[in-house]
Amino acid sequence: MTNNFHMGTNYLLKVITGKWKVSIICALGLRDYRYLELLKYENDVNHTKISKKVLTEQLNQLEEDGIITKKSYGTIPPKVVYSLTTIGQELAKKLTNLNFLGEKLAQVNQANISFDINAQQVKNLHKEEQD
Amino acid sequence: MTNNFHMGTNYLLKVITGKWKVSIICALGLRDYRYLELLKYENDVNHTKISKKVLTEQLNQLEEDGIITKKSYGTIPPKVVYSLTTIGQELAKKLTNLNFLGEKLAQVNQANISFDINAQQVKNLHKEEQD
DNA sequence: CCGAATCCTAAGCGATACTG
DNA sequence: CAGTATCGCTTAGGATTCGG
């Protein structure tokens, strides 16, 4: 065992660092998404704005890093579907698995677990959506 | 189950995002460290320069986020020892657990898993150290 | 020995407008 | 529909210097 036992973790962290990447990976863990679908989903779930430029950037990086793949149907208007690679699916599971610890930590810290509004507000939003 | 099942993960990611945080957490997973010890360790293991300012910043943030604690002996010259909290230890385990997936991904991508030199060079370095 | 204060650069992110 | 191109703001990180 070397001192570099965390290099893989660091590499992985580098791959998933980016404001929306974890959210994207978790989303694609549930089902495939088209481009604008994903844009809407992210804006929706996180209650904050993601620009098309940034979404494109992060998708390209995730593809380059072997986490996701895109399939372009050559149609007009275009249709592009994003999905996880095999290793991407593994990653999605692990990330979801980290969720519990993250929530526990947030609770201990009494931290704001949402992007820009607090958990209670999120709950209220969901209540409103149900009404 | 809401759509926010990854918010804990995102929160956790926010806590551990920072160029040296994972490395710090993993280091403290092995044993406690003093300030300059940690500085030397990081520069040593990662073969790149971390400034005192950044180390202090990241340590403060990790402390604020409930991952580590510091103990100051009131001596002159000062002595300060950093260690993991209980939840920090849990985190260290999970991160170490991610290491395998990260290494696998790096291999698939034929990526440079070190900070600034490649894996083969790291191996050579270790060989030299043994000589 | 353990930082804090200052300055600087590079990168990340967002808004907006345009295109095949 | 699925992107590019351009711009400007904000933040992270590093070098250096000073202090208790």
Single out the residue of B49, B64, B55 nearest to residue B18, CA to CA: B55
B114 is a domain residue = no
- Answer for A89: CB within 7 Å of strand D: no
pLDDT of residue B129: 33
Instruction: Name the domain count of chain A.
Output: 1
- Answer for A15: CB within 7 Å of strand C: no
B120 is a domain residue = no
Work out the minimum CA distance from A120 to partner chain B, whole angstroms. 13
B19 is a domain residue = yes
DSSP character at residue B5: T
Residue stretches of chain B with pLDDT short of 70: 1-5, 112-131
Work out the minimum CA distance from A76 to partner chain B, whole angstroms. 32
Using alpha carbons only, give the angle A42, B18, B90 rounded to the nearest 5 degrees: 90
- Amino acid symbol at B33: Y
The parent domain of residue A93 ranges over 11-109
Q: Are B16 and B22 a contacting pair, CB within 8 Å?
A: yes
How far apart, in whole angstroms, are the C-alpha atoms of residue B104 and residue A12?
10
Using alpha carbons only, give the angle A115, A121, A125 rounded to the nearest 5 degrees: 100
pLDDT of residue A121: 39
Nucleotides of D under 7 A from a protein CB: 1-6, 12-17, 20
Q: Are A102 and B10 a contacting pair, CB within 8 Å?
A: yes
Residues 36-65 of chain B in contact with strand C via CB under 7 angstroms? 36-37, 52-53, 56, 59-60
Residues 48-107 of chain B in contact with strand D via CB under 7 angstroms? 48-54, 57-58, 77-78
B62 is a domain residue = yes
Encode B74-94: b = buried (16+ Cβ within 10 Å), e = exposed: eeeeeeeebebbebbeebbeb
* Residue A10 neighbours by CB under 8 Å, 6+ apart: B22, B23, B102, B113, B115
A1 is a domain residue = no
pLDDT of residue A110: 81
A126 is a domain residue = no
Would the CB atoms of A10 and B23 count as touching at under 8 Å?
yes
What are B75-112's pLDDT values in tens digits? 999 999 999 999 999 999 999 999 999 999 999 998 76
pLDDT of residue B111: 72
Work out the minimum CA distance from A63 to partner chain B, whole angstroms. 11
pLDDT of residue B4: 64
pLDDT in single tens digits along all 131 residues of chain A: 345 678 899 899 899 999 999 999 999 999 999 999 999 999 998 888 899 999 999 999 999 999 999 999 999 999 999 999 999 999 999 999 899 999 999 999 987 666 544 333 343 333 333 32
CATH of the domain at B90: 1.10.10.10
A124 is a domain residue = no
Give the nucleotide nearest to B115 (CA→C1'): D13
pLDDT of residue A54: 97
